[in-house]
Structure 1
């Protein structure tokens, strides 16, 4: 039960990869020449990250990571947010910390000392190549982010947020996985909600048993998946069959289907919305992250499920209309105009 004696200080606190997004446009031929997986997300080591960074053209550098991008969208929508994630005490760590705080997100996780060795890795980065059709090819060096220890958690901070939002990408390395399990225990003990985004099908391939167990044990209150992630999670090729199977087990299920819109289910009720029209898709980076931001901005206010979906669709459409994974307009004004 919610702790009515201690109302939440934050609407959403997120735990995720603390990485710097480095985004550059490229030609289709560059994807092939560099041996990249078009439209996918590939994990890199430090040497691979340095190689690709040297091959990039002019780029923008901002604090990133899936959950951090969602919080940036939420902050733009007037939601009180805090972030927990691990950076190193280096140049990219300073970029991340300054950038995320500049958009109004509280971030106080201590930096990890670094000496350049494998034991003390530098701040992570995601090298994103965007082709002329707007498709993004992501190549991620997790760096210090995968060493977030449970000891770095501010448990009072976690208990002070109405919603704890967890990034599936960070479930892969062992140390932050233990930290997130502890954070779930803290949030649930405080009567708070736990939201989880699956992040990518390959994460489910590796940790699907964990995710299914958490769903069965009632540890996830709000689950975000896209169509392919849902199929991987359930083994169901039919979207409706997979959706209904999971919807029966989580209080709120949100499933996005790209240009075919999005569906949500809660309390036995189901809603869906169409995708918002976009004049030109420029860059799909962050579409799922901003959909989650739009949805949660409404959910935190107790808005109807269809309205929350509509908010998600508006936020996703805005972010794919320009380069970068975060809003580039006044989102509160845009929501007021569209809703």
Structure 2
């Protein structure tokens, strides 16, 4: 029996921390856009260079395990060094790797994450794979996250499986899924217990330009798509949750931002863990905020993931920060 099985791509992220760079900012359609400028053809010194196993499914599987639950992951990898590193990493964190499939003559996904002043610029290569849902041992929750193209059959099978097993589903759509639009995602969203998106992704899902909807309208419109709970994160402005009752808002927990990769995954991990422990929405938001604050204080999406003991300490330290009705 697994408490949670995550589904999505595992990738190798190489983190490059720049001590110096140039930002060129302008306004595009009333939205501020900044461009990271490096001298073409130059040899650029870096502050740090570190490869880490990553991907939303891997991050959440590791995070949930640290918070006291049994986790497994389904992912498809190429027969390369990433597969070897991924399996070793999962075993190290006591995540069940039995559903990780390694395919000959294929390559794993890969990203270069350039960090400057705490913000990231990601160069990502998503490798195409054919996804086929394996026979899963009993589980309580599924966490469905980013993956490459050719995901539609898997999504249909997952919806049927969740209904048949009477399990709970958390969904955090990736870039490729969001590009597919609401028509492809609607059946999954209607079967979802907790939908996680950031503000920009929420607007994209509703086919609105970023910023067109205020947060109250955004979360309520997303909820009408069918999930039981909607969670929207908005960077330094905090997070929002709605289950058809009150819209709850929580600010961020104070921390020194080092690198932002994994902020959303760690928030989702904390929120889901609190939900699994039977906490209400305001407390779930606090668990998410505590986990995210820890993760962004170091480089990479997994080193800062909290254990249950460290989560308790973080929540006590920030007991004054509580969710408010919007």
Higher helix share: 1
* 1:227 is aligned to 2:217: no
1:63 deviates by: 1.8
CA distance in 2, matches of 1:244, 1:267: 8
Q: Is the 8 A contact 2:74 2:100 kept in 1?
A: no
CA deviation digits over 1:81-102, x for unaligned, max 9? 1100011222221011111221
Q: Which residue of 2 aligns with 1:211?
A: 185
Match of 1:292 in 2: 268
Q: How many residues align?
A: 295
Partner of 1:323: 299
Point out where structure 2 has 5 or more consecutive residues left out of the alignment.
Answer: 25-32, 37-44, 316-326
| CA deviation string 1:108-150 (max 9, x = no partner) | 2354343xxxxx322222211111x11111122223xx31431
1:149-192 deviation digits (Å, cap 9, x = unpaired): 31xx33233xx22111111x31x401x33223212211221100
Match of 2:141 among 160, 163, 167: 163
Distance in 1 (alpha carbons) for counterparts of 2:22 and 2:87: 31
Residue aligned with 1:223, SS: strand
Q: Structure 1 residues 292, 186: CA separation in 2 closer, same or farther (over 3 Å shift)?
A: same
Cα distance in structure 2, aligned partners of 1:39 and 1:199:
23
Counterpart selection for 1:95 from 85, 90, 96: 85
Residues 30-74 of structure 1: per-residue CA shift (max 9 Å, x gap):
899xxxx9789xxxxxxxxxxxxxx98853222211121122111
Task: Give the distance between the partners of 1:19 and 1:126, measured in 2 at CA.
Answer: 7
8 Å CA contact 1:20, 1:62 repeated in 2? yes
Tell me the SS of whatever aligns to 1:282.
Answer: coil
Aligned-partner Cα distance in 1 for 2:272–2:259: 22
| 1:251-330 equivalent positions in 2, closer than 5 A | 251-278=228-255, 280-328=256-304, 330=306
Q: Which secondary structure state, in structure 2, belongs to the residue aligned with residue 71 of structure 1?
A: helix
2:11 to 19, 28, 40: 19
Contact 2:294-2:306 at 8 Å conserved across structures: no
Between the aligned partners of 2:187 and 2:155, the Cα distance in structure 1 is 15
Q: Distance in 2 between matches of 1:220 and 1:323?
A: 31
Matched residue, 2:53: 63
Q: CA deviation at 1:232?
A: 1.5
> Which shifted more, 93-102 or 329-338?
329-338
Cα pair distance change 1:203/1:97, threshold 3 Å: same
Name whichever structure is richer in strand by fraction.
2
> What root-mean-square deviation, in Å, do the aligned CA atoms of Structure 1 and Structure 2 show?
2.6
Report the CA distance shift for 1:112/1:332 in structure 2 as closer, same or farther (over 3 A): closer
**Per the alignment, do residues 318 and 72 of structure 1 end up closer, same or farther by CA in structure 2, a change over 3 Å counting?**
same
TM-score normalised per structure 1: 0.79
Tell me how far apart the structure 1 counterparts of residues 264 and 88 of structure 2 sit (CA, whole Å): 24
Is the 1:13–1:82 contact (alpha carbons within 8 Å) kept by the matching residues of 2?
Answer: yes
Map of 1:8-87 to 2, 5 A cutoff? 9-27=1-19, 29=21, 59-87=49-77
**Is contact 2:231-2:241 (8 Å) kept?**
yes
SS at match of 2:76: coil
Q: What SS does the aligned partner of 1:108 have?
A: strand
1:134 matched to which residue of 2?
A: 118
Against the structure 1 CA distance between its residues 110 and 71, is the aligned structure 2 distance closer, same or farther, given a 3 Å change threshold? closer
Gaps of 5+ in 1: 1-8, 41-54, 115-119
2:227 to 250, 254, 257: 250
TM-score, scaled to structure 2: 0.82
**Match in the other structure for 2:318:** none
